[in-house]
Amino acid sequence: MPSCNTCDKFFNPATLDEEGVCPDCGRQVTIGEMAHDFDNETVKVPWHFWVGVAAVIGYLGWRLIQGVGLLFW
């Protein structure tokens, strides 16, 4: 999470410009350990997030099938 050490504030990455400067004081914002790994690449979404997304899609799909079945039964 981007944070400014001078202002002692945390920022949403969308609120910063491309250079990564603080909108209040104009100094460089530290990105943090969560956004980049050791090779300076963006960290990927964990695999268990996608398992949860698949479970929600499966559940909602099944409920849709049940709802359509009630209409025509």
Q: Give tens-digit pLDDT for 19-68.
A: 777 777 877 777 665 555 566 666 678 899 999 999 999 999 999 999 99
30 and 51 together in one domain: no
Indicate if 6 and 37 belong to the same structural domain: yes
Domain encompassing residue 25: 1-42
Higher per-residue pLDDT: 46 or 2: 46
Contact 13, 2 (CB under 8 A): yes
Asked whether residue 38 falls in the same domain as residue 57, the answer is no
CA gap 51, 46 in Å, rounded: 9
Amino acid at 53: V
- The sign of the dihedral angle between the CA atoms of 16, 20, 25, 30 is positive
Other Cβ atoms within 10 Å of 29 Cβ, number: 24
The token pair that represents 26 in the structure block: 């104009």
- Which pLDDT score is estimated for 67? 93
In this predicted structure, what is the pLDDT of residue 68? 93
In a shared domain, residues 61 and 26: no
Number of domains in the chain: 2
Residues 59 and 73 placed together within one structural domain of the fold: yes
